[in-house]
A and B are shown apart, each in its own frame.
Chain A
Amino acid sequence: MTEAPVPPTALREPAHQVSSKAPLLWAVGAAFGFLVLAAGMVAVHLLWFELPVWAWPVLAVVAISYVAVMPIVRYRVHRWESTDSAVFTQTGWLSRERRIAPMSRVQTVDYQQTAVGRLFGLASVTVTTASAAGPIRIDAIDRPVAERLVEDLTRRAEAEQGDAT
């Protein structure tokens, strides 16, 4: 083992934030989830048994605070960066995960846009490697940015040789 003079002890954050419209997208998604839950509860209430009165205000408080807080925290955390040699992302809101994959091991680059994403002009890019544990997803970035990123990644990955395993 060769001792590096000063071994690095921390990583900086990836360079780019996701789109500023991302919190809105996440909030809409979360709100929709709570609407489905509320609808389910109403169905239970009407068809099977009566839910206690306090269930409704509790649901409202949880829903509103989650929809308000989660997207803001998440927006601060989610970042991404793509260099000539690697892709680097940071995701999560309570927990954090950083993923790094070298360009030489990139196998596929996928571009996705959901229906809600199209509404906001947002898309996501997924980079996969030969490992089932390795996909890197960059969520909720502006569509032109995503398209350029896909182009860049494809070009860089092609420039590398080997079978990426």
Chain B
Amino acid sequence: MSDAHPERPADEVPPAPDGPAPTTEVEWRRLDQRMLLVNPVQELIRFFPLVIGALVVGRSGDSNFWQLLGIAIPVAIGIVRFWITRFRITTTQVELKRSLIGTTVLTARLDRVRAVELTSSPIHRILGLAKVEIGTGSKGSEEKFALDALAIPEARELRVALLHRAAVEGAPAATELPPAYDEATGVPAPPVPAEDEVLMRLDPGWVRYAPLTSSGSVIAAGVLAVLGQVVEQLGESLFDEEDVLRLVLEVSVAVLIPVAIVVFLVLGAVFSVLGYFVTNWGYLLTRDARGRSLHVRRGLLTTTETSLERERFRGLEVREPLGLRLAGAARLKAVVTGISSGESGSTQLVPPAPRKVVDRVGADLLGYSAPLVVPLRQHGPAARTRRWTRALMGASVVPAAAAVVCWLTGLSWWAVVATLVVYPAAAALATDRYRRLGHELTAEHLVVRSGSLGGERAILQRTGIIGWNIQQSWFQRRRGLATLVATTAAGDQAYAAIDIPEDQAVALADEAVPGLLTPFVAGEQLTSAS
């Protein structure tokens, strides 16, 4: 779809041109001057409790000395931070230096840059600034490599320079797949784009999926905990305690518990909706005109622009937890070399959205839709038995525990009977978990799916597989099953086909990465031994 050897774009900043490395030292640069405004404010916020303390102390004294000091120190720290920070970009690396008494120099090799993230907090946005965070995929370094901050246009230019160095130097860029829109994906072949190509734009209606994710209830729990603290502190002065007590006692537990649950659920829903808008407002997924990188822009207050290099792209994860799945929705994440999936949302491509949108974007990125929509091969009766055994064994813990409690406390045995409802739930879970197990090979990808409550369909580029682990527990061996794990340098580092019949595991691994297993195949020993 795009030229693999693009010429140098006109709007690019240093690093210096394609010629030989300059003999003179590259000069150290300062961050944007407007940081002289941002830094003191940020320090004031950071020192907020101290500042308040200083103000209170100041009020009790005669002079304004403490008040002034409480503000002057954070402001001074902010200004000093600006003066001591410098950065430069040489032909091979980007360096960040902070020197006051000691000197700290952070160095990142340009060819190791895997992702660039631009973040603008509200104050950054007012001043037209963006923080540039550079991800190199190293886990050893404690400090994030961040240039905080540059003017937004400058930051964007820097991003282009950092991400597309390889292409600029004429090294082969990512091999682009021809767009094969043969299947009924509803996507017309896009015209050759003049600039960044928009792959997906947020539809505010998708906020309806937000309450189906767990994020809202987590926030709600947090807010309730804080509220509880506040009420405990202020309660006596605000309410007449006896009134409250009387109110609580008059209402029976049978009413109170459902009401509490409903309040919690409603709060959870409200917060998840708010959270969805705050993080995903204006969500825009674009692809660089030459297909070299993907950009995600999002955020209501603080805006974030994440860029992922196409060359390090190894596949996709379609995350479909139960709630989203029932509503026909899913999330899409990229599997990128050097960025583990656990890292905070930095590889998310599509927020909770209709499955159709996820499939369309996925097909667009892969060049064909098969990995997202192809029916998967099921793992067979032994795998089903194992799902059932595990679910029922797990569920049995509940009545057993209840029985022990009843025996010890003399509680009514009806409590144990009541806990038996876990069995239908376990049965439903086992059925669904088995249905969700599956694997398939497509032209370029290995697709594995598993999980019910937190289900995931992982799509891994076959050339990104860098090894196989075939695991068999004692129970799996008795049933002739195995867990086939494809290891990779990207995303979760390992993607597993769980409880697949032994013979199929070997056949699948052999077909996915031809030749690797050949010398070790049973029966081949005589012919291949030399």
Contacts and interface: CB of A to CB of B under 8 A. Distances in A.
Contact of B487 (A8, A98, A133): A133
A52 interface: no
Interface of A: 1, 4, 7-12, 14, 81, 83, 85-86, 88, 92, 94-102, 105, 129-134, 136, 164-165
B517 interface: yes
A99 B468 contact: yes
Given A1-B441, A131-B467, A8 B506 contact: yes
Contact of B517 (A11, A94, A96, A133): A11
B493 interface: yes
Chain A interface helix/strand/loop/mixed: loop
Contacts of B525: 12
13 contacts: A1-B511, A8-B518, A9-B502, A12-B525, A95-B477, A96-B471, A100-B469, A100-B517, A101-B487, A102-B513, A102-B516, A129-B489, A132-B494
Contacts of B464: 165
B474 A95 contact: yes
Contacts of B513: 102
Contacts of B510: 4, 7-8
Q: Which size bracket describes the interface of B in this complex?
A: 35 or more
A100 B505 CA distance: 13
A135 to B, nearest CB: 9
Contacts, number: 130
Contacts of A81: 520
B477 A105 contact: no
Contacts of B180: none
Contacts of B511: 1, 4, 7
Given A95-B474, A102-B466, A131-B494, A88 B520 contact: yes
Nearest to A4: B511
A8 B528 CA distance: 14
A11 B477 contact: no
A82 B469 CA distance: 16
B473 interface: yes
Interface in B415-460: 441-443
A99 B467 contact: yes
A11 B520 contact: yes
Nearest to B503: A9
Contact of B470 (A97, A164, A165): A97
B469 A97 contact: yes
Nearest to B442: A1
Given A130-B489, A131-B489, A11 B521 contact: yes
Contacts of B504: 9
B128 to A, nearest CB: 37
A97 B472 contact: yes
A96 B472 contact: yes
Contacts of B507: 7-9
B170 interface: no
Nearest to B514: A4
A92 B473 CA distance: 9
A164 B338 CA distance: 12
Interface string B464-504: 10111111111011000000010111100110000000111
A94 B473 CA distance: 7
Given A14-B520, A134-B494, 14 more contacts: A11-B506, A11-B517, A81-B520, A85-B515, A85-B516, A86-B520, A94-B474, A96-B471, A97-B469, A97-B472, A98-B470, A102-B516, A105-B467, A165-B312
Chain B interface helix/strand/loop/mixed: mixed
Interface of B: 312, 337-338, 340, 441-443, 464, 466-474, 476-477, 485, 487-490, 493-494, 502-504, 506-507, 509-511, 513, 515-525
A86 B489 contact: no
A15 to B, nearest CB: 9
A124 to B, nearest CB: 18
Given A10-B503, A11-B520, A129 B466 contact: yes
Nearest to A129: B466
A98 B469 contact: yes
Nearest to A99: B469
Contacts of A133: 469, 485, 487, 493-494
B521 to A, nearest CB: 4
Going nearest first, the 4 A-B pairs with the smallest beta carbon separation are A133-B494, A9-B503, A130-B489, A101-B467
Nearest to B464: A165
A7 B505 CA distance: 11
A128 to B, nearest CB: 10
Contacts of A10: 502-503, 506, 521-522
A121 B145 CA distance: 45
Q: Which one of A11, A12, A86 has the highest number of Cβ atoms from chain B below 10 Å of its Cβ?
A: A11
